[in-house]
Structure 1
């Protein structure tokens, strides 16, 4: 939109005042005043927007928020104990219910309302604000990559905690609870409702099932912002873009037989080898970053048996949907060519069949750099004396709401983690409470 010329603005003002019967002619001596008034009216929405924009430093000094921030720091050790407690409750994929039950008690103790579990096992609780909107959702995932039977005992050496999932995402769950507790302790009145979610199915083959269920039939007309708490993100950073992914299982099947007596029939394992070799030759762009990986293979019963089946699980990722779809198509072509070659090699004796199953799909997405949500996080960083905000793209719970057009972001929970997705996962919890304070300020300010 361009700036009106003064004469046009004055003419519009004169026209409007004539229509209202307030004047019928303009004194030349007052034209300058009218021009300024017209320009001021034109700029008024911009000035109003600037005036309404929250000042994080001022918000930090409000008595209720200041008390909540003090609570976070004084409650830091108790929050770490919560992190350890939750992490020592196993939560393998598709079996998060015991950990969810422990979080439910903490949600209720923080006086969240309407605490309940949905069809996907997400634990949900609301904290009403002065109005229903803006409606913010803040979430951390319950599940881990570790199978049932994994020893989830947590050890502590000073400020270093060690245990499976101790920061991905036990730290996120502790921070989620910590924000709810601090808002309650400070009796903070937010502008709108905050919904807290301990969600399922973020890792591995979970396929974001928790987020897909939560956002079923929801859009940006229902939710104004989404915040995921996850992973090793430094509290100066934010994930603002979602790396999309496909996960496929490729299976070749045939009659199988004895390695000597049945020799001359097509072999599913040989077909799989052909396919993997062809997949390895696929070319992907460096920008947007696009990757593929054959992560698991299996098949066969013994060294002297022609297998009746063989499978591979394949992961493909990209920052953009176009290259992601192209890579998936290339993998499928490689699989089909391998099948055709193996059958041709043995003249269709023991002819093989192929099946490709979709194990998971995560959509791509992003939140604009000039969005209110990112601007809020940027202001909080500055107010807390942290480094300037840096952004990146990853695959997190935020992918799904991003794909719906809901402003979404993933933030760290404090502390410094390493060796994620291994039994040697650790986190240095020095000043981890600052991550909770940052999250607290973001939900308290946006877009208050």
Structure 2
């Protein structure tokens, strides 16, 4: 049996109890943003009116392992979790994957960092169909032609104890219906190219890892998506496998656009009627604003449970709730703004724009670090802000034996906040987006 113990920050004594809950802001809509309400001071801004081009940075090989700057835990691309559930076949499949990365800072004093990842399929030492990040016409264009890559913009340094971060979305083509159809006139399927097979190879939560690549799970007819804004719990956010991201989010607003989905695992809140509707009643362009908590969402794979506030009420777990449905056809003339705040012992997620059903509106949803006994996953930036009460261990078994992920949230641990925008997966999602006006605020003194 393998045991993995997560690293913790130096313990500061006396150890404080969990932060007291802040006053809970009820779900609600309006037309102004949190920044408009005042109380914030702008400390960093990127309008993308200066030249940024990832071609000025070189690709480098990342072989994973402890020596890699992207090494985090057992859910990494070469992690012990996959060795456990996949057995020796996982290592055989991973040997076929040659990962290349780019990383470069930009913006005033380098406050932002771009992280790109791709795979070398033919072994010629160059990544194939790599993603790109370039500024043009005052926006940053993120282009990801293959689901085997990933591209993010992130904060270069940990975020302050209290902050507001926001971004403007001016273009989006990462799946969802277009013109009322999941199958596009240009042949793409939910935003994916129709060429070749597109699967989650070589990372899965179980199953037969010895299968040929094209026999793995088909992502093209499953889901596409994009992270509008998310807060991660580790030091160097970058694209990894899709299992990894499900253990490292604190809060996030993303899209999860499922191709012709008719099941009960997703539902949409109509903000006018304040009633849940089946996923099929939407255009598949929803925003999922999710607060992660410490319970396990899945019995057979890693992932934290979801807490979801919306105009339809509060929901824990079960069907994923989309709070609003975007109208991508209005972009770029009518952009959307997304923001996350951490203040007064709580996180707030905010989205503004012209949404289906309701038109121009702003929606804000707030939860305290610990509210009604439910913590926001890894909320504590400092060890002294948490006493270990939500610690647990996760056990996984498979052809590779048994793995115990011990101390998932121990006393003495600390998780500085970093934000991400883009696609953090290296085996899901494909498309392009245009982002603008990434801004960071701190409270006025």
Give TM-score, length-normalised by structure 2.
Answer: 0.24
In proportion to residue count, which structure has more strand? Answer: 2
Larger Rg: 1
In proportion to residue count, which structure has more helix? Answer: 1
If asked which structure has higher relative contact order (CA below 8 Å, sep 6+), I would say 2
